[in-house]
Amino acid sequence: MCIRVSHIVAIFLVSLLLARPHSQAQTTPATTIIFEILGQEKGKIPAASTIEPLVVIENGKLKKPPEYDYSKQKESDAAYERFEKQYFGRGRKYPLLIGGAEKGFVAVGEPVAESCISLSATVTTSVPLSNAQFALAATTTNGLGVHADWRKPVVAQKRAEFLRLVSRVFARNKVQNISESLIKVDNLRSTRLSEAGPIALIGSATLKRKSGIHQVFLVALYKDSEYEEAVSSYHLARDEDDASASVENLVEQVDLDGDGTDEIVTINTYYESWDYNIYKGENGSWKKVYQGGGGGC
């Protein structure tokens, strides 16, 4: 029986395709690391800007970076070492994200210990960061909704609206007879969280009294001719040395899933540790969808 050469070649090619292993894209999860960047801070050790992972995005899911477990020190040390080798190689560059926009890059210096437990490294930035300014970086911007910088200067009227809502949160937590002139506003941002979305005010405020130190983190959205509270948290410290105290502050905004609306990233600072929150807007409301990362003693 005569078999045509073309048939033999076709059979051979099919056999090769069937025998080939699955591609790396099929077997390796799509992973993006989102890093927090902290600008140089007076009196801080190290004096340089630093980078640390705050969340891992794996196949669209938000997961925690490697966590240190003192009961499994050998395994934890190995996990940290693997991460440093993979992501903190000297000169490694990552896109720098500020206000949801890509603004240059960060270049890794070397791993550094910022506390008893921390997974961090020094970095230099292609654009200057103001004293202790927060920013973000990412291993890749693929899948992220990078956009123009929607931030605007905070005018007096917006600051007054923010204080009005902060006072309402204080009152809800039984902080009475509030003089807004005594409230210290921290890191207030006027921005949008989507291209056609309303103006958003995001920031923190602190009120010191004999009863303690009262702190509020607040996100307000402009709706129906006024600003309305979308996210808030209230914290009370008995004094400056209260070991149970915590505060929450804005890190950045960024569209983590490319759906056109930025998520809000915050940092929780405790007595000797810290971690991060991520808030997401869904169906007209905002909720916390992640808490993790950070370090401490």
Q: Would you place residue 242 in the very low, low, confident or very high pLDDT band (cuts 50, 70, 90)?
A: confident
pLDDT at 29 (0 to 100): 52
pLDDT at 137 (0 to 100): 98
Q: Would you place residue 45 in the very low, low, confident or very high pLDDT band (cuts 50, 70, 90)?
A: low
Distance CA 132, CA 42 (A): 8
Checking if the pLDDT of 19 tops 50, the result is no
- pLDDT tens digits, 185-210: 988 999 999 999 999 999 999 999 88
Checking if the pLDDT of 112 tops 80, the result is yes
- pLDDT tens digits, 116-136: 778 999 999 999 888 889 999
Planar angle of CA 143, 149, 153, nearest 5 degrees:
150
DSSP string, 244-280: T--EEEEEEEE-SSSSSB-EEEEEEE-SSEEEEEEEE
State what percent of residues in the chain have pLDDT above 70: 89
pLDDT at 37 (0 to 100): 95
pLDDT at 243 (0 to 100): 67
pLDDT at 11 (0 to 100): 41
pTM of the model: 0.86
Checking if the pLDDT of 60 tops 50, the result is yes
Task: Name the residue with higher pLDDT: 274 or 4.
Answer: 274
Bond preceding residue 153 cis, omega within 30 of 0: no
Distance CA 256, CA 188 (A): 22
